[in-house]
């Protein structure tokens, strides 16, 4: 998993048929586990926000989620509304019991999604996952259509070939994956090529995540290779406009809805608008319960540990979660308090907000920068321009 | 804005008004200033208009207010209709979200308290501050929304669209209009008007 925004792309949407949660009315249902199965990864990506331990063989057991503890968490979570799980990491397939975990979660009726670099996926595993588990969505990282570029960015020769092979196996097995491209200045001119490769490989969609300041991404930005505000917005406009017009494959990007054009809002609806953070709990390879993968680098966003703390108690009473839920009821701070989209956007990616300003519920860095530059669209403010009833300028005395 | 009837007509006597949600009135001695928050404008109103504004509760009719103030009905209706044009007050219409028969005779009206914003030619945003709901609409819907500044039937809306959207099949236009109106009535952005008897 390479970008915090990966957590909010629809991969996490729990099954609609979730059981009625056995929860007090003021506590949201816990619908999805984000399972960071291992803290290790067999790649060393230049931009990864999780900063996993580089693993050349098998990851150390201490960094692999214990299946027994996971079973305990699922047993506790299901009466709380648990209906889905995302398998991510590090590289989730490095977990020595990966297949067993997928089978177990499926047998519990949880809808599965998977984020992977694709390198460890063989044909047999792809067929098994597609045919014999509840896996519904897979996202595979690919950052360039050029082998050497991808390998250089991902920190290991052979990564491209293995990822492409994995994508093919998934598509052949009947589950075309989404391809996620981490975008920085170094691969901006490869976007069209990557889209064409994705179509050739039979992918279902391509999602574009600008490299953030999180984890190793900070170094990318220090080198001046990250996208700045203008570059970020230009990328979004390009992808959701002319490129989506041109290519039949679905192209996506996470962006606060206030920074989307009307045309984009009509085209994409609520896709990429926000995170379902009120219904998610991250579980790290160490067994720690956390907001999401950000808990690996920010200890105060870890809430307890499986095997030591009760999941239900953590979910209901941990002060960070309680405060976050209260704040998400609004009124929202800063420009969000005046934004038409706030109720749906929920301040977008809370992990990114925290890294940017030390507060979970805060204007997203993109919106905050738009305000600083005086370019936050007035039409998206509650007190913004626009007529009453008749629109076009409204009534005037 | 809704269509303005003749202030002296019997219908005007039965109209009811209330201050718009985004309007505030400040009194300074004998003068009153109206803040139109949505438009960020300040305007002065005279004492008679201020007195009328203070009586608006969405229930009193023009005739009730005339009786209460001792003013003739005609000037009261004229003053309130003028304030409606200025964006200070809005006419209270009885909304119905129920499907009625025959729908072809129902007249639809865009909720005058909904804020409408356009961004270029790609469509627009409707924002209902009372319910904090937002709707993104395409250019054709924008055309319908604008047309519903005054009450219109489905057939009238479809006819207007047929004029604007050249080449569209009439049956398709009628279906699209019906679908749009039903959806927007359900969401509370558009109402079915119950005119005063």
Kindly list the structural domains of chain B, giving each domain's residue range(s) and its CATH number in brackets, ordered by start.
10-91 (3.90.930.60), 103-192 (3.90.930.60)
Cβ within 8 Å of residue A37, ≥6 positions away: A64, A65, A87, A88, A89, A90, A92, A94, A95, A98, A101, A285
User: Which tokens hold the place of B140?
Assistant: 């054709």
> Is the confidence at residue A394, as pLDDT, over 80?
no
The domain of A232 spans 4-283
Q: A261 CB near a chain B CB, below 8 Å? A: yes
Task: Determine whether the interchain pair A397/B34 forms a contact, defined as Cβ–Cβ distance below 8 Å.
Answer: yes
CA-based nearest distance A24→chain B, Å = 26
Residue A387, pLDDT score: 43
Residue A386, pLDDT score: 46
CA-based nearest distance B28→chain A, Å = 19
The span from the CA of A86 to the CA of A64, in Å, is: 15
Q: What is the mean pLDDT of residues B89-104?
A: 64
User: Which tokens hold the place of B29?
Assistant: 């001695």
When pLDDT is cut at 50, 70 and 90, the band that residue A370 belongs to is very high
Residue A89, pLDDT score: 85
Under 8 Å between Cβ of B128 and B111: yes
Q: What is the mean pLDDT of residues A124-130?
A: 98
Of A14-23, A266-275, A278-287, B120-129, the least confident: A14-23
Q: What is the mean pLDDT of residues A295-306?
A: 93
Q: What is the mean pLDDT of residues B80-94?
A: 81
Asked, for residue A11, whether it belongs to a domain, the answer is yes
Nearest to B93 by CA among B53, B136, B151, B46: B151
Of A148-162, A176-190, B92-106, the least confident: B92-106
Distances, alpha carbon A389 to alpha carbons A90, B113, B126, B142, in Å: 52, 6, 9, 11
When pLDDT is cut at 50, 70 and 90, the band that residue A77 belongs to is very high
Nearest to A367 by CA among A243, A217, A247, A257: A257
Asked, for residue A59, whether it belongs to a domain, the answer is yes
Mean pLDDT of chain A: 88
Residue B188, pLDDT score: 85
Distance from chain centroid for Cα B111: 5
Under 8 Å between Cβ of B110 and B151: no
Residue A289, pLDDT score: 97
Residue A214, pLDDT score: 74
User: Which tokens hold the place of A201?
Assistant: 């490989």
Residue A15, pLDDT score: 42
How confident is the model over A379-392, as pLDDT tens digits? 999 875 444 433 32
How confident is the model over A45-69, as pLDDT tens digits? 777 766 667 777 776 777 899 999 9
When pLDDT is cut at 50, 70 and 90, the band that residue B170 belongs to is confident
Chains A–B, number of C-beta pairs less than 8 Å apart: 105
- Placement of tokens 């109103």 in the chain: B45
Nearest to A211 by CA among A161, A148, A254: A254
The span from the CA of A314 to the CA of A318, in Å, is: 5
Report the CATH number that the domain containing residue A252 is assigned in CATH. Answer: 3.20.20.70
> Is the confidence at residue A121, as pLDDT, over 60?
yes
> Is the confidence at residue B12, as pLDDT, over 90?
no
Residue A235, pLDDT score: 96
Residue of B nearest to A261 (CA): B119
> Is the confidence at residue B101, as pLDDT, over 60?
no
Residue of A nearest to B88 (CA): A397
Asked, for residue A45, whether it belongs to a domain, the answer is yes
> Is the confidence at residue A226, as pLDDT, over 80?
yes
Under 8 Å between Cβ of B42 and B33: yes
Residue A50, pLDDT score: 63
Asked, for residue A388, whether it belongs to a domain, the answer is no
Find the helix packing angle between A123-132 and A159-173, rounded to 10°.
40
For residues A19 and A38, the model is more confident at A38
Query: What is the ipTM, given to two decimal places?
Result: 0.79
For residues A279 and A274, the model is more confident at A279
* Dihedral (CA of B108, B112, B117, B121) sign: positive
Number of H helices, E strands in chain A: 15, 13
CA-based nearest distance B122→chain A, Å = 6
Q: What is the mean pLDDT of residues A265-287?
A: 86
When pLDDT is cut at 50, 70 and 90, the band that residue A106 belongs to is very high
Asked, for residue A176, whether it belongs to a domain, the answer is yes
Q: What percent of chain A has pLDDT over 90?
A: 71
Q: How many domains does chain A have?
A: 1
Residues of B in contact with A391 (CB under 8 A): 116-118, 124, 142, 145-146
């Amino acid at each position: 998993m390479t970008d915090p925004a990966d957590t909010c792309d629809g991969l996490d949407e729990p099954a609609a048929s979730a059981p009625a949660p056995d929860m007090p009315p003021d506590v949201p249902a816990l619908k999805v586990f984000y399972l960071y199965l291992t803290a290790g990864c067999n790649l060393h990506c230049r931009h990864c926000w999780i900063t996993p331990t580089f693993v050349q063989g098998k990851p150390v057991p201490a960094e692999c989620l214990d299946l027994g503890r996971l079973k305990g968490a699922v047993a506790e979570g299901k009466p709380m509304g648990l209906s889905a799980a995302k398998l991510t990491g590090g590289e989730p397939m490095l977990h020595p019991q990966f297949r067993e975990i997928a089978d177990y979660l499926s047998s519990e009726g949880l809808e599965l999604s998977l984020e992977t670099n694709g390198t460890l996926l063989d044909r047999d595993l792809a067929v098994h996952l597609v045919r014999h588990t509840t896996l519904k969505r897979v996202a595979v990282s690919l950052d360039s259509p050029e082998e050497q570029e991808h390998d250089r960015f991902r920190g290991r020769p052979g990564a491209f070939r293995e990822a492409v092979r994995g994508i093919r196996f998934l598509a052949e097995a009947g589950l075309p994956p989404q391809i996620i491209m981490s975008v920085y200045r170094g691969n901006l001119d490869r976007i069209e090529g990557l889209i064409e490769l994705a179509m050739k490989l039979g992918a279902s969609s391509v999602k574009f995540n600008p490299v953030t300041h999180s984890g190793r991404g900070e170094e990318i930005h220090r080198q001046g290779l990250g996208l700045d505000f203008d570059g970020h917005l230009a990328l979004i406009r390009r992808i959701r406009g002319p490129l989506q017009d041109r290519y039949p494959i679905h192209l996506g990007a996470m962006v606060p809805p206030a920074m989307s054009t009307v045309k984009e809002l009509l085209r994409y609806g609520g896709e990429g608008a926000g995170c379902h953070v009120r219904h998610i709990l991250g579980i790290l390879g160490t067994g720690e319960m956390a907001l999401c993968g950000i808990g690996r680098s920010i200890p105060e966003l870890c809430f307890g540990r499986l095997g030591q703390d009760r999941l239900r108690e953590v979910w209901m009473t941990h002060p960070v979660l309680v405060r976050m839920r209260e704040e998400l009821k609004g009124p929202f701070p800063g420009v969000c308090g005046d934004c038409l989209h706030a109720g749906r956007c929920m301040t977008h990616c809370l992990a990114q907000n925290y890294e940017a300003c030390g507060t979970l519920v805060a204007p997203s860095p993109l919106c905050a920068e738009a305000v600083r530059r005086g370019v936050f669209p007035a039409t998206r403010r509650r007190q913004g321009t626009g007529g009453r009833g008749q629109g076009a300028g409204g009534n005037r005395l | 804005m809704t269509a303005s009837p003749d202030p002296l007509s019997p219908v005007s006597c039965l109209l009811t008004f209330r201050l718009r949600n985004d309007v505030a009135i400040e009194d300074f001695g004998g003068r009153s200033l109206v803040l139109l928050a949505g438009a960020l404008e300040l305007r002065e109103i005279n004492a008679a208009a201020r007195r009328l504004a203070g009586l608006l509760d969405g229930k009193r009719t023009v005739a009730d207010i005339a009786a209460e103030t001792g003013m003739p009905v005609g000037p009261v209706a004229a003053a309130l209709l003028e304030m409606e044009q200025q964006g200070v007050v809005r006419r209270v219409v009885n909304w119905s979200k129920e499907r009625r028969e025959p729908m072809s005779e129902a007249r639809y009206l865009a909720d005058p308290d909904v804020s409408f914003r356009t961004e270029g030619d790609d469509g627009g945003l409707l924002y209902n501050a009372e319910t904090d709901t937002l709707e993104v609409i395409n250019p054709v819907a924008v055309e319908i929304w604008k047309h519903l500044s005054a009450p219109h039937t489905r057939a009238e809306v479809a006819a207007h669209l047929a004029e604007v959207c050249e080449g569209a099949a009439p049956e398709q236009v009628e279906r699209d209009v019906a679908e749009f109106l039903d959806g927007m009535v359900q969401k509370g952005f558009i109402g079915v008007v119950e005119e005063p008897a």
